[in-house]
Amino acid sequence: MRTKFERDPDLFTLPVSLAEFPNNCRDEAPKLLKGLQVIFMNEALNQAVFLLLSSRINAKQNMLVNSGRKGMGLWEILVLGVMRQGLNANYDRIHYLANTDMLMRTVMGIETDSRLNKKQYGLTMIKDNLALLDEQTIQEGN
C-alpha cells in the first residue's frame, strides 16, 4: 500500500508550504507547482485528491511490487505526473527536474536544507511509477 504524504516531515526537509514562487515568470512550471501546493495545503482538497489516488494507484501497485521496483509516495507520483502532463515533457526532462529543480523538489516534499541525504530518482523508477497514474485520474483530480 502506497502511503499518503506526511505533512510533518523530518527536521531537515523543507515544508511544502515554504515553497516560494517567482512573480514575473511566464513559464508553466511555477504555475503548476503553485496549484499543487494549494492542493497540498487545503485539507478538503488534499483528502479528496488522496482518496482518488489511493483508489487508482494502490490497486495497480502489485505490478511494481512483483518486479522488485521501489515505489514512490502518492504525492510524489502526483507531482511528477502533473508536471509531465502540464509541461508536455518527456521522462528525461522529468528525471532531470526531479533530481535538480529546488522548487519542484520542495513542492514534492523531498528538498532538504543540507546537501546530505538528498533523495534521488532513477529514470526507470520514474517511468515505472508514473505508469501507475493515467491521464483520466489527473483529469478527475482536476
Give the residue ranges of the chain where pLDDT is below 70.
1-11, 59-70, 115-116
Query: In whole angstroms, how far apart are CA 18 and each of 38, 40, 78, 111, 127?
Result: 12, 12, 19, 11, 28
Q: pTM of the full predicted structure? A: 0.85
User: C-alpha distances in angstroms, 54 versus 1, 89, 130?
Assistant: 9, 25, 14
Look at the block and give the residue holding cell 507520483.
Answer: 77
pLDDT of residue 62: 60
Domain that holds residue 38: 27-141
pLDDT of residue 6: 55
**Is residue 19 domain-resident?**
no
Asked if residue 13 is part of any domain, the answer here is no
pLDDT at 132: 86
User: Residue 58: what pLDDT?
Assistant: 74
Residue 58 lies in a domain: yes
Domain assignment present for 75:
yes
Whether 45 maps to a domain, the answer reads yes
Domain count, the chain: 1
Q: How many angstroms separate the Cα of 61 from the Cα of each of 29, 129, 133?
A: 28, 9, 11
Domain contains 49: yes
Q: What is the pLDDT of residue 1?
A: 46
- Going from the C-alpha of 46 to that of each of 3, 49, 54, 141, the distances in angstroms are 13, 5, 12, 10
Residue 94 belongs to some domain of the structure? yes
Q: Could you tell me if residue 136 is inside a domain?
A: yes
Q: What does the pLDDT look like over 33-55, one tens digit per residue?
A: 999 999 999 999 999 998 998 88
